[in-house]
Amino acid sequence: MTGLFSEVFLSALLFGAVTAAIPLLLAGLGEQMSEKAGVLNIGIEGMMLAGAYLGFVGAFYSGSLWLGFLTGAAGGVAVALIMALLCVRIGLNQIVIGIALTLGLEGLTALLHHFQFSRSYPRLPAADATVIPLLSDIPVVGPAFFKHHLIVYLAVALVFGMGYLYRRTQLGLNLQAAGDKPAALDVAGIDVIRTRTIAVLTTGALAGLGGAFLANVGAGLFIPFITNGAGFLGIVLAMLARGRPVWVLFGALLFGVCLSLTTAMQVAGINIPTDVIQMLPFLAVMIMLVLFGRRASLPAALGIPYERGAR
């Protein structure tokens, strides 16, 4: 039990929390953008899986993590393209299509992985950390927060970029109008379908990137169903964040701590059945939903396909 409170343990726990939080953050930010524009993107789990698989394959064959991130994002965009076509352009039911995409991608990535690697699970070399001078020397906090791969810092910076986008730019206004009152955007002369398509594709890119991070940095390998609900946690985060990116960050970190605790407690050899420990993150979700779910405010036109002139 003493190990639980040691400095090393604590910074390892927090380090793991950040690593676990980044995919959730990217998924949450992506989902937030879709939802802002009025598209409930349940297919995000599938987009993450596509990102994880293609991201891993890209990094594995090229030897470059960055190329892996790129192929991962492209994989997410490819799935998002189907979603945009079916749900935004044709106006099919977003929930049905979202579930179908997730289930389809679960099977497809598992199948492709099996063809390619049979039953072996090759590993990628550990990701290079970008050590921030001075800050990384702070005890506990330093090694936990300032010795990560560069993309971690970029992901956190993206939170503020998104905040700026929503509050200060024309595109931000258009996105919010597309979700809250698409008809108003349409008569203002902006194509609602196009605006929503941009949002869904961006979601795909972010979710794909999140998936690639999960596989390449978080795990260092790809196994089928590796996302294990990370996309769905992203949906929860987006709903609880009430349109504010910084709340997605806080939520992602909280879930990250829970996920990291799961590993840490197993490592620390605490005498609780592992099944119980593994329930922790999902318990946290439920507690958060009970505490804050009531106040979740969703765009008025969320989930409703836009059709011009329909009343």
Partner 1 sequence: MSGSSSSSVAGRDIVALEGVTKRFPGIVANDSVDLSIRPGEVHVLLGENGAGKSTLIGMLSGLQQPDEGRILVDGKPTPITSPRHALALGIGTVFQHMMLVPTLTVAENLLLGGPWWQRPRTEELEARVAEITRSLGITVKLHAKVSELSLGEQQQVEILRAMVRNSRLLILDESTSMLTPKGIDELGALMRRLVEQGLAIVFITHKLKEAAAFGDRISVLKLGRKVGEIPPERFRALGEQAIISEIVELMFGKQKDDPEAVERPVRTVRAEAAPLLQVADLAVAPTDNAPGLSSISFDIRPGEILGIAGIDGNGQKQLAEALAGQRAATSGSVRLEGIAIEALSVGERRRRGLRYLTDDRLGEGTVGTFPVSINFFLKQVGAAPFWRHGVEQRGEIDERAAQLVREYDVRTPSLKTPVARLSGGNIQKVLLARELAEGAKVVIFNKPTYGLDLANTLASRQRIRDTAARGLAVLLISTDLEELLSMCDRVAVIANGAIVGTVENTDDARTRIGRLMIGLAA
Q: Which residues bind partner 1 (CB under 8 A)?
A: 168-171, 173-174, 176-177, 180-181, 183-191, 300, 308-309
Q: How far is the CB of 160 from partner 1 (least distance, A)?
A: 16
Distance from C-alpha of 55 to C-alpha of 70, rounded to nearest angstrom = 7
User: Which is nearer to partner 1, 152 or 177 (by Cβ)?
Assistant: 177
CB 105 within 8 A of CB 46: yes
User: Which is nearer to partner 1, 105 or 175 (by Cβ)?
Assistant: 175
**What string of DSSP letters covers 111-150?**
HHHHHHHTT----PPPPPPEEPTTGGGSTTHHHHHSEE-H
Would you say the C-alpha torsion 307, 170, 150, 258 has a positive or negative sign?
A: negative
User: Which is nearer to partner 1, 100 or 175 (by Cβ)?
Assistant: 175
What is the 8-class DSSP label of residue 3? G
Q: How far is the CB of 242 from partner 1 (least distance, A)?
A: 11
Q: How far is the CB of 174 from partner 1 (least distance, A)?
A: 6
Number of neighbouring beta carbons within 10 Å of residue 55: 33
CA angle 284, 288, 47 (to 5 degrees): 75
Distance from C-alpha of 30 to C-alpha of 237, rounded to nearest angstrom = 10
User: Which is nearer to partner 1, 183 or 221 (by Cβ)?
Assistant: 183
Q: How far is the CB of 289 from partner 1 (least distance, A)?
A: 23
Q: How far is the CB of 167 from partner 1 (least distance, A)?
A: 10
User: Which is nearer to partner 1, 4 or 187 (by Cβ)?
Assistant: 187
User: Which is nearer to partner 1, 32 or 262 (by Cβ)?
Assistant: 32
Residue 92 CA to its chain's centroid (Å): 24
Q: How far is the CB of 240 from partner 1 (least distance, A)?
A: 18
CA dihedral 124, 19, 259, 100 (to 10 degrees): -70
Q: How far is the CB of 76 from partner 1 (least distance, A)?
A: 22
User: Which is nearer to partner 1, 99 or 190 (by Cβ)?
Assistant: 190
Structure tokens at 243: 């349109």
